[in-house]
Amino acid sequence: MGGADKFNNQQILVVGATGALGGAIARQLKVEGADLIVSGRDQRKLAALTAEFAGSSLSVDLSDSTGCAQLAEAVGELDGVVYAAGVAPVVPVRYLKDADIEACLNLNTTMPLLLIRELLKKKRLKTGASIVWISSVSSARGTVGYAAYAASKAGLEASARCLALELAPKGIRVNCIAPGMIETDMADATAERISDEALAAHLKAYPLGAGQPTDVAAATSFLLSQESRWVTGITLPVDGGFSI
């Protein structure tokens, strides 16, 4: 099943919808018939998304568990949850600040887990719901300057595997997507910190070249849908062959 009937008015929450990946995911799900609730940090983009979808948006501070509780309180029963929020302090370890490490681990690893905790406590996840967390290929492959970010994403994937086992009796699936180099603002900011030669060398590691946000959106749609009903606890690389 595809097109506007794929999600048939299912309620799906997209956290981090104002980012490039989150926005692409939200747009694809909307085209495929989902009723969206979007959340993000950029108020201007969030307002534009809400107007575009004629849907609902929620602005919460996800710096601590209070924001997760507020988000869980505000939504109804959900068929799907996408967590696409994240930060990437890309610098050598000797230059990492305490606050950068804490913010990275908090937003990328702790908050998605606490959000699911609050949604479960409020009984917001329907039987058969699907949870998709956006990770990164850096979780499994060493890259200079990515120590904090890679640690946060590796922790995210480990949590997802445990959560998949815990929620399987309820028919709730939990999976991650690990994008490689996607043309986004975050990637552009990273490229500004390295030389053109280093960037060119990195891109050579991608047999299919750099990806687009729509590539991640398509994979997310698959993992949210019943097309992947027998898939849980995995991390799906969407990386143009980088991992091989």
% of the chain surpassing 90 pLDDT: 75
Please give the pLDDT value at position 187: 52
pLDDT digits 0-9 by tens, 23-37: 999 999 999 999 999
Please give the pLDDT value at position 16: 95
For residue 133, what are its two tokens?
């967390």
Residue 10 pLDDT > 60, yes or no?
A: yes
Residue 200 pLDDT > 80, yes or no?
A: no
Please give the pLDDT value at position 51: 85
- Average pLDDT over the chain reads 91
Residue 9 pLDDT > 60, yes or no?
A: yes
**Contact in structure between 225 and 7 (CB atoms under 8 Å):** yes
Q: Which residue has the higher pLDDT, 55 or 178?
A: 178
Strands (E), the chain: 11-15, 35-39, 56-58, 78-83, 125-134, 173-179, 235-238
- Give all domains of the chain, ordered by start, each with its CATH number: 3-234 (3.40.50.720)
Reference 101, options 112, 111, 90; nearest CA is: 90
Confidence of residue 214 (pLDDT cuts 50, 70, 90): very high
Residue 184 pLDDT > 80, yes or no?
A: no
> What's the rounded Cα separation, in Å, for the pair 131 and 129?
7
Q: Which residue has the higher pLDDT, 244 or 129?
A: 129
Q: Tell me the mean pLDDT in the region 199-204.
A: 76
CB 43: neighbour CB atoms within 10 A? 11
Please give the pLDDT value at position 192: 56
Positions marked catalytic: 149
Side-chain half-sphere CA neighbours of 201 within 13 A? 6
- Share in percent of the chain as helix, strand, coil (round to 5): 50, 15, 35
> What's the rounded Cα separation, in Å, for the pair 97 and 158?
25
Q: Tell me the mean pLDDT in the region 180-196.
A: 64
The single-letter code of the amino acid at 81 is: V
Q: Which residue has the higher pLDDT, 200 or 116?
A: 116
- The alpha carbon dihedral of 208, 203, 27, 122 has a sign of positive
pLDDT digits 0-9 by tens, 75-106: 999 999 999 999 999 999 999 999 999 999 99
Confidence of residue 193 (pLDDT cuts 50, 70, 90): low
**Contact in structure between 160 and 112 (CB atoms under 8 Å):** no
Give me the count of residues in the chain.
244
> What's the rounded Cα separation, in Å, for the pair 20 and 48?
14
Residue 130 pLDDT > 60, yes or no?
A: yes
Confidence of residue 189 (pLDDT cuts 50, 70, 90): low
Confidence of residue 70 (pLDDT cuts 50, 70, 90): very high
pLDDT digits 0-9 by tens, 141-176: 888 889 999 999 999 999 999 999 999 999 999 999
Please give the pLDDT value at position 15: 97
Phi and psi based region of residue 54 (left: phi greater than 0; alpha: psi -120 to 50; beta: remaining): left
Residue 191 pLDDT > 60, yes or no?
A: no
